[in-house]
Chains A and B, each alone.
Chain A
């Protein structure tokens, strides 16, 4: 499963998660953009779904550990969310790999696919993250979405409900944006590199 090109892809995607995610975290916008690399990793490896899931999860975990150590100490508690994102990316989002690389780009189909994938990813991540945000951190993490939680709390909602509403408001938009950016990067990736990453490991000579 772990061929050298796949390890390289994991490392590059982890770096992408870290770089973009950290910039967005520091701006305190109510979005995250910290899973573009995870989605892209699944797209790069796709036809082998199990490998796509495992590699996407590894990319997410490497970036999560590095970001936790250097930028955002909250992030490591969202490991289960990373598992969910990697799973949906490998089994749902990556099914659009051919469409994302089609030339000329079928804009309507592309946009529908991106938005639907983003909504599914967003709903799943909101539901998986909500208990962590509510019960481990009492509703407020260091990201900009804390303002949304505060807004819903001020509106009289209970903690769990406020966290869930905040997630359901911000996550689908955030994840649609992430799928769009990952799809655009996937579209521009040279086919030589994709072929290297997708090549299965050689069987041992008998």
Chain B
């Protein structure tokens, strides 16, 4: 599978998940499971674990709000009915399942290309050069920002402005940390843009590196997965029109 095929597949699945009701989510879950098993194999377990870590606290939060506080589902509120906590719970379950499916398929697709570096992945994408440039330069700043955070944090802890543990002082002076990180990052990229990159001709070397020699085409597997997701989307719309729950 190619990165372009994976992006198209994931976008179609996400769109279908937003339209789907319970039966549609079952169709999509089956398709995504098949995709995970055939394309990623055992790595899918780690991807699913990540999705659970992300969605579980969110589901708990929504249960507190909907089941605990409101006690009715949105449909019951819209219809001005008294409502029940069980209906609210069903509603939260469907929303959580939908979000889980979306997060899981993104994570599985990311695992599929875990062997590629971010630069290789971006290079393979069929996208305008300016967009690829923005993506690569953004990624190149991740390290710079991590270093800026480390430096600012150490300096502010050493000077007693913030503490290592949770404290009132951190709450009051947290903003100084953000400001210090911003200034550290800005200063270091200013130096890089003015001195380092022009001398090393970094940006001149970047454009040829991001340009594909030939237009990337979708492979056979890409076409199969994209077609399957389109079919799943059509089935979901058909079921929706025929009143399936």
Asked if B65 contacts A4 (CB within 8 A), the reply is no
Whether A193 contacts B190 by the Cβ 8 Å rule is yes
Tell me the residues in window 169-183 of chain A with beta carbons closer than 8 Å to chain B beta carbons.
Answer: 181
Determine the distance from Cα of A149 to Cα of B65 in the docked complex, in whole angstroms: 9
Query: Known: A4-B193, A11-B137, A20-B178. Is A188-B185 also a contact (CB below 8 A)?
Result: no
Complex contacts, A146 vs chain B, CB 8 Å: 61-62, 65
Check A185–B134 contact: CB distance below 8 A. no
Interface size on A, residues (CB 8 A): 45
Q: Contact check, B141 vs A12: say whether CB atoms are below 8 A apart.
A: yes
Task: Check: A111 CB closer than 8 A to any chain B CB.
Answer: no
Give chain A residues whose Cβ lies under 8 Å from the Cβ of B55.
73
**Given that A11-B137, A136-B18, A138-B74 are known contacts, is A154 also in contact with B69, CB under 8 Å in the complex?**
yes
Q: Beyond A11-B141, A138-B91, A138-B95, is A159–B134 a contact (Cβ under 8 Å)?
A: no
Question: Is there a chain A Cβ closer than 8 Å to B145's Cβ?
Answer: yes
Task: Report which residue of A7, A136, A149, A159 has the largest number of chain B beta carbons within 10 angstroms of its beta carbon.
Answer: A7
Tell me the interface secondary structure of chain B in the complex. helix
Q: In the complex, which residues of chain B have a beta carbon less than 8 angstroms from the beta carbon of A185?
A: 178-179, 182
Which residues 168-209 of B sit at the A interface, judged by CB distance below 8 A?
175, 178-179, 182-183, 185-187, 189-190, 193-194, 197, 203
Point out residues on B near A: beta carbons under 8 Å: 18, 54-55, 58, 61-62, 65-66, 69-70, 72-75, 77-78, 91, 95, 99, 102-103, 106, 110, 130, 133-134, 137-138, 141-142, 145, 175, 178-179, 182-183, 185-187, 189-190, 193-194, 197, 203
Q: List 22 A-B contacts (CB under 8 A).
A: A2-B133, A4-B193, A8-B137, A8-B189, A11-B134, A15-B141, A62-B134, A71-B54, A73-B99, A138-B95, A140-B66, A140-B95, A142-B58, A142-B62, A150-B65, A150-B70, A154-B70, A159-B78, A181-B175, A189-B183, A196-B190, A196-B193
Q: Which 3 interchain pairs have the tightest Cβ spacing?
A: A138-B74, A11-B138, A150-B69
